[in-house]
């Protein structure tokens, strides 16, 4: 299970993450494939074989070169001013023009040297305070000395990346909120988890990472199939997917009412048709999610998949005469596929039917109340559940409805705040900006629901829990 820990080497076909300062981008490592990242283009060919965490510089021709040590760009002259009373902004302090800088860049001069030239050609640099000089150098370094680190994907990196680049695709679930979910849900190896998410598969991936291939997961999905774009960025070993099941939300009601049987599954021919239409709706869904107002597409689409579809359409054109034979084979293939899908569906239904799951994680764009009221039926007593929602109000309703239903205790509505700090000698302070919102969580623990007197116990539970909440003391607060 520990394959690809620290020290692993970058291999062709790996899922990797590019990092420049605080910006991330997930990519597949492929030879002769042009990558555009932070306004730079390059090839990953030279990175193959290096250890994850290696820092690279982009050389002319788009090649990556491992960065040799960390050279200090200290200005020999340790001259500095004490304040800025005589520094005037006349816009002429930099003697190099835009064209000069461009010429330097075009000549392929190292970024480090450009920064040095900028410093030498700044008339005000020596009058700046030491701190201001430091800041100036850092700013220029960031612009001209682009260092790209290739890192191994993890929940930490992917959840940070998604929140920064595509918050819309993960319902603005901030990484610290995701961290709370994993802890509140007691996610660990050996669990049997139910996950319902529309966060591009990020939450599923996070749960899979914490379970390390031990135990099982049943992913509930809306529409034609589960979206796992983010899950594939983790680069999990194949074995992790053996115990990953999926079950359509649209069949939950029939499963709960006991009308779900294999007979209710679509007949073979219909199934074929449905599969095709499912495929379509899946595609449509994918399009919809990609129609985010994001300026650039941060995620690489799976190139292997792309290739496959392209190859297939080419074949179709070339071998028309074999079409009939192929069609027969296709039908057979599809039948086998369909049979496998039915088998998997039956397995997932059986797992859910045991009603002994070790937890429930919900993070979707849907209203949480109906999801909770139904899916909690599949969870064993004395197990945690966590619901994420971008908005507080639906969770208020969910809270009330769960209280009416009973069978849950220790309900808690919470939100986490995250503050980043700049820590430098004599210049420590909270960072200028912080995230305004990372969503809300409703968590609790299931208990045995006494069916006979469910209604009676509801009001009882309300009576017992409500006033207690009011005299909640500070030392009892879980921090």
Rounded Cα–Cα distance for residues 245 and 303 (Å): 25
Rounded Cα–Cα distance for residues 63 and 51 (Å): 17
Q: What is the DSSP letter of 434?
A: -
Least distance from other proteins to the Cβ atom of residue 11, Å? 15
Site for other proteins contains 452 (CB under 8 A): no
In three-state secondary structure terms, 447 is: coil
Size of the site for other proteins (CB under 8 A): 78
Least distance from other proteins to the Cβ atom of residue 446, Å? 6
Least distance from other proteins to the Cβ atom of residue 336, Å? 34
Nearer to other proteins, 334 or 401 (CB): 401
Which of these, 48, 114, 119, 112, lies nearest to 78 by C-alpha position?
A: 119
Q: What is the DSSP letter of 474?
A: G
Rounded Cα–Cα distance for residues 43 and 28 (Å): 11
Among 104, 204, 229, 445, binds other proteins (CB under 8 A): 445
Q: Restricting to residues 82-121, which ones interact with other proteins according to CB under 8 A?
A: none
Among 13, 41, 51, 88, binds other proteins (CB under 8 A): 51
Site for other proteins contains 477 (CB under 8 A): yes
**Contact flags string 159-178 toward other proteins, x per CB under 8 A:** x---------------xx-x
Among 295, 312, 432, 474, binds other proteins (CB under 8 A): 474
Annotate 414-436 with b (16+ C-beta within 10 A) or e (fewer): eeeeeeeeeeeeeeeeeeeeebe
Q: Restricting to residues 306-365, which ones interact with other proteins according to CB under 8 A?
A: 356, 358
Tokens representing 237 are 């070993």
Q: Restricting to residues 2-41, which ones interact with other proteins according to CB under 8 A?
A: 2, 5-7
Q: What is the DSSP letter of 243?
A: T
**Contact flags string 181-220 toward other proteins, x per CB under 8 A:** -xxx-x-xxxx-----------------xxxxxx------
Tokens representing 126 are 């020596």
Nearer to other proteins, 81 or 212 (CB): 212
* Lookup result for tokens 């009308």: 259
Nearer to other proteins, 266 or 430 (CB): 430
Nearer to other proteins, 115 or 157 (CB): 157
Helix pair 268-290, 323-353: axis angle to 10 deg = 80
Which of these, 375, 379, 370, 376, lies nearest to 401 by C-alpha position?
A: 370
Which of these, 417, 402, 353, 409, lies nearest to 381 by C-alpha position?
A: 409
Least distance from other proteins to the Cβ atom of residue 425, Å? 7
Least distance from other proteins to the Cβ atom of residue 184, Å? 7
Among 295, 312, 432, 448, binds other proteins (CB under 8 A): 448
Nearer to other proteins, 58 or 187 (CB): 187
Is residue 39 within 8 A of residue 21, CB to CB? The reply is no
Tokens representing 418 are 């995250």
Annotate 124-135 with b (16+ C-beta within 10 A) or e (fewer): bbebbeeebbee
Residue 29 CA: distances (Å) to CA of 42, 58, 162, 304: 12, 16, 19, 11
Rounded Cα–Cα distance for residues 111 and 94 (Å): 17
Q: Restricting to residues 375-434, which ones interact with other proteins according to CB under 8 A?
A: 380-384, 392-393, 395-397, 399-400, 409-421, 423, 425, 428
Tokens representing 197 are 């998410």
Site for other proteins contains 459 (CB under 8 A): no
Nearer to other proteins, 259 or 416 (CB): 416
Nearer to other proteins, 188 or 334 (CB): 188
Least distance from other proteins to the Cβ atom of residue 448, Å? 5
In three-state secondary structure terms, 58 is: strand
Least distance from other proteins to the Cβ atom of residue 220, Å? 21
For other proteins, which stretch binds (CB under 8 A), given 46-54, 165-173, 275-283, 360-368?
A: 46-54
Q: Restricting to residues 241-300, which ones interact with other proteins according to CB under 8 A?
A: none
Q: Restricting to residues 54-83, which ones interact with other proteins according to CB under 8 A?
A: 54
Least distance from other proteins to the Cβ atom of residue 457, Å? 8
In sequence order, which residues have a C-beta less than 8 Å from that of residue 159 and are 6 or more positions away? 170, 173, 175, 178, 179, 202, 206
Least distance from other proteins to the Cβ atom of residue 23, Å? 13
Q: Restricting to residues 133-162, which ones interact with other proteins according to CB under 8 A?
A: 154-156, 159
CB atoms within 10 A of CB 43: 17
């Amino acid at each position: 299970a520990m394959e690809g820990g620290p020290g692993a080497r970058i291999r062709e076909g790996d899922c990797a993450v590019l990092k420049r300062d605080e910006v991330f981008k997930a990519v597949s490592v492929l030879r002769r494939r042009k990558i555009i990242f932070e306004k730079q283009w390059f090839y990953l060919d030279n990175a193959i074989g290096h250890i994850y965490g290696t820092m690279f510089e982009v050389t002319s021709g788009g090649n990556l070169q491992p960065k040799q040590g960390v050279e200090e760009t200290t200005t020999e002259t340790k001259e500095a001013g004490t304040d800025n009373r005589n520094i005037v902004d006349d816009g002429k302090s930099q003697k190099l023009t835009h064209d000069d800088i461009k010429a330097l860049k075009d000549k392929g001069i190292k970024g480090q040297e450009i920064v040095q030239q900028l410093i030498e050609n700044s008339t005000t640099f020596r009058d700046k305070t030491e701190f201001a000089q430091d800041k100036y150098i850092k700013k220029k370094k960031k612009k001209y000395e682009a260092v790209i680190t290739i890192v191994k994907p993890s929940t930490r990196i992917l959840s940070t990346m998604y929140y920064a680049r595509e918050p819309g695709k993960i319902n603005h679930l901030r990484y610290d909120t995701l961290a709370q979910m994993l802890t509140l849900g007691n996610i660990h190896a050996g669990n049997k988890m139910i996950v319902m998410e529309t966060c591009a598969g990020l939450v599923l991936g996070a749960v899979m990472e914490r379970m390390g291939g031990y135990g099982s997961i049943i992913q509930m999905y809306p529409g034609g199939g589960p979206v796992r774009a983010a899950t594939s960025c983790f680069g999990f070993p194949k074995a992790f997917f053996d115990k990953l099941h999926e079950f359509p939300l649209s069949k939950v009601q029939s499963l709960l009412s006991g009308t779900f049987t294999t007979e209710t599954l679509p007949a073979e021919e219909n199934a074929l048709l449905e599969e095709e239409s499912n495929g379509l709706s899946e595609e449509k869904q994918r399009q919809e999610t990609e129609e985010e107002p994001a300026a650039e597409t941060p995620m690489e689409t799976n190139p292997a998949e792309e290739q496959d579809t392209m190859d297939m359409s080419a074949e179709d054109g070339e071998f028309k005469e074999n079409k009939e034979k192929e069609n027969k084979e296709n039908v057979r293939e599809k039948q086998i596929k369909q049979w496998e899908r039915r088998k998997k569906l039956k397995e997932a239904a059986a797992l859910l039917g045991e009603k002994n799951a070790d937890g429930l994680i919900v993070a979707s764009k849907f209203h949480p109340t109906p999801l909770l009221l139904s899916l909690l039926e599949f969870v064993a007593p004395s197990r945690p559940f966590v619901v994420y929602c971008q908005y507080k109000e639906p969770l208020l309703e969910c809270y009330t409805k769960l209280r009416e239903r009973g069978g849950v205790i220790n309900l808690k509505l919470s939100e986490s705040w995250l503050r980043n700090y700049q820590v430098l000698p004599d210049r420590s302070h909270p960072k200028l900006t912080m995230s305004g919102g990372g969503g809300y969580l409703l968590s609790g623990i299931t208990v045995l629901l006494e069916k006979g007197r469910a209604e009676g116990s509801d009001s009882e539970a309300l009576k017992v829990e409500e006033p207690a909440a009011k005299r909640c003391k500070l030392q009892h607060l879980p921090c």
